[in-house]
Structure 1
Amino acid sequence: MRKAPQYNRIHRPFPLSPTVTRSRTLTTEIPHELAGLRLDQAMAMLFPDFSRARLQTWIKDGHALLDGVTAIPRQRLLGGERIELHAEAEDVVECAAEAIPLAVVHADASIVVIDKPAGLVVHPAAGHPDGTLQNALLHLDPTLAAMPRCGIVHRLDKDTSGLLVVARTLEAHKSLVDQLKDRSVSREYLALVQGAVTAGATVDAPIGRHPSDRKRFAVRRDGKESVTHYRVEERFPHHTLLRVRLETGRTHQIRVHMAHRHHPLVGDPVYGGRARIPAGADPALIEALRVFRRQALHAARLGLIHPETGEEMAWESPLPPDFEALLCLLRGLA
């Protein structure tokens, strides 16, 4: 897999001008082998670049013609009919564009890779109606208004820094969602945890909503499958830097799994409890641990198959200054 070189961070709206397809007409003949299937089932096979839900919406909205006649999703096929699909991206974003600086790692006509800073919320939500990555993306590239959630296919917590990919076309969106589902997207994180971790391991423990606090998540028997792999990257007397690889992508997954293993992330205000100060720590380290008020988690590496070219691509992000400074203190180098 090709490793991308180090990049220069761009702290201004990046001038992107790809060709983004908003409307086009696709035609094909229904193969006789698909006779007996419903139209939406057949179209999902014939137009794999689009999800079945999106195809059903287009059919219901009259964008699909069968032998020149407006079709319905459950219409049964005989085989040999000619299907004409008017694929059109519609503006689905209600939030406004905002000139928020972003670090663009990679950009082409299909995808944009962003290095998100800690403190930036990904999607507008209660308590964060604006000032989000989604607002920033609309300023970076207004055509993303035509994409579901501006093309964001996976997320990072507000105070987690690092890499995430954004789709710029419906075809790229479908491809990336499928890659996430079949776990072919590679996501590696650096996590600083409390305590001495002796060796790497895998946490295979289902995660669901906390039974009494709806803002938190917990390992629970009736939760969704959640698998996290980790190995030791660097050891300190009372802390461990881990390299973590996600197999699934549940909300707060790394934070919940490491707390479940009794090694919560340093600075985690939800799952970490009070800051643990090592005995004999010098004043600078004590102060650094006390003021580090976000989870020490960084999405350091992202790998995927390019939706258009099929090329395996990967990017790496250096640790942000606050994280690196804390590690330097732990190493006794500061």
Structure 2
Amino acid sequence: MSEPESRLNERPSTAARLAATVPDGLAGRRFDQALAELFPDYSRSRLTAWIKAGAVRLDGEVVPPRQILRGGEAIELDVRMEREIGAQAEEIPLDIRYEDADVIVVNKPPGLVVHPGAGNPAGTLQNALLHHDPKLAEIPRGGIVHRLDKDTSGLMVVARTLRAHTALVEQLSERDVHRQYAAIVYGAMVAGGRVDAPIGRHPHDRLKQAVREDGREAITHYRVRERFRTMTLIECRLETGRTHQIRVHMAHVRHPLVGDAQYGGLLKLPKGATPELAAALRGFRRQALHAEKLEFAHPKSGKPVAVEAERPADMEALLAALRADTKENG
């Protein structure tokens, strides 16, 4: 058995037995549907998996998820949650922009990997979060409900309870989370627009995504914020959340992100660029993408939560060089 498999099998878990009675108002509903209403802390997919595994009983019997209820039945649910100890707590500084008992919104710096994995066993955002709140070890994926690429900066929301995690994942799947980004792209764009192009795994490079007919639906809205001589600062809003979506979509419309070697190719120095702009571009070693605004309904109160994060220093320095180059070259 390999070391990762051994570690996975040794993970302790939290266990509990929960009970409920099916109210008359749920008579005629399917077992899995009623369970989701009676135990909202857990996602529908997790509850369905527990039903199929025999961890949920109806009047003492194991029944299928589609069993129709009559009302008054007794439900017993054996909860068994693995602890997220694949990552160890590490004292890594966090830029927290919002925090309460249910959620944390953190401003991730560029260069910080979100989850431990091959090549990054430690020093990740998840390691830092586990140090900040050890109880996150009991939440799926350490409470992280969406991710940013290593070299993308900006806001991420983290759930601190099972109920918050379930609610936020549902908001994401229902497209109820507003995610707004700032990006610097090649080319002098004249207007905003909408990219509606499905995204899937690149046919030849497994590390990349690509626009492909058999991909998953992907929609990005963008508008021009500031035009420069050879580049443009744009605002992007995600309607869906596919891997590398903004990077793939902007390359697809022939305006790849500055610094994005994976989707934009080698560095392109504009003709006649000032020495300062040339130096700024050579020193910018990541995609120019920042998650600047995040809005969602609070998973407990339902009230709107809106958080913003200013662009990081490296993007501001590049923008200053672009403004000076545009002014000088008129």
Query: TM-score normalised to the size of structure 2?
Result: 0.87
2:316 alignment partner in structure 1: 324
Compare the two structures and name the one with the higher helix fraction. 2
Q: 2:243 aligns with which of 251, 274, 283?
A: 251
What SS is found at the alignment partner of 1:270?
Answer: helix
Where do residues 1-334 of structure 1 align in structure 2 (5 Å cutoff)?
27-32=19-24, 34-35=26-27, 39-59=31-51, 64=56, 66-67=58-59, 69=60, 71-74=62-65, 77-85=69-77, 87=79, 89-332=81-324
How far off its partner does 1:82 sit? 2.6
What SS is found at the alignment partner of 2:262?
Answer: coil
How far off its partner does 1:39 sit? 3.4
Give the distance between the partners of 1:76 and 1:259, measured in 2 at CA: 50
Amino acid at match of 2:238: L
Structure 2 segments unaligned to the other structure (5+ residues): 1-13
Amino acid at match of 1:95: A
How far off its partner does 1:83 sit? 2.5
Give the distance between the partners of 1:298 and 1:23, measured in 2 at CA: 40
Q: Is the 8 A contact 1:201 1:231 kept in 2?
A: yes
Give the distance between the partners of 1:35 and 1:316, measured in 2 at CA: 45
How far off its partner does 1:63 sit? 5.8
How far off its partner does 1:76 sit? 5.7
Give the distance between the partners of 1:270 and 1:42, measured in 2 at CA: 46
Query: TM-score normalised to the size of structure 1?
Result: 0.86
Give the distance between the partners of 1:126 and 1:170, measured in 2 at CA: 27
What SS is found at the alignment partner of 2:264?
Answer: coil
Q: Is the 8 A contact 2:186 2:231 kept in 1?
A: yes
RCO higher in structure (CA 8 A, sep ≥6): 1
How far off its partner does 1:273 sit? 1.3
Let me know the Cα RMSD of the aligned residues. 2.3
Equivalent pairs: percent with the same residue? Answer: 59
Give the distance between the partners of 1:243 and 1:151, measured in 2 at CA: 28
Q: Summarize deviations over 1:259-284 as a string: whole Å, max 9, x none.
A: 01110000002011122222222111
1:10 alignment partner in structure 2: none
Structure 1 segments unaligned to the other structure (5+ residues): 1-21
Q: Is the 8 A contact 1:38 1:73 kept in 2?
A: no
Q: Is the 8 A contact 1:160 1:297 kept in 2?
A: yes
Q: Summarize deviations over 1:11-66 as a string: whole Å, max 9, x none.
A: xxxxxxxxxxx777654321346456553343123333421232245556776454
Give the number of aligned pairs. Answer: 312
List 4+ stretches of structure 1 deviating above 6 A.
Answer: 22-25
What SS is found at the alignment partner of 1:332?
Answer: helix
Q: Is the 8 A contact 2:192 2:224 kept in 1?
A: yes
Distance 1:83 1:102, change over 3 A: same
How far off its partner does 1:79 sit? 2.4
How far off its partner does 1:114 sit? 0.5
Q: Summarize deviations over 1:142-184 as a string: whole Å, max 9, x none.
A: 1000011101110000000000000011100111011001111
Distance 1:60 1:143, change over 3 A: farther
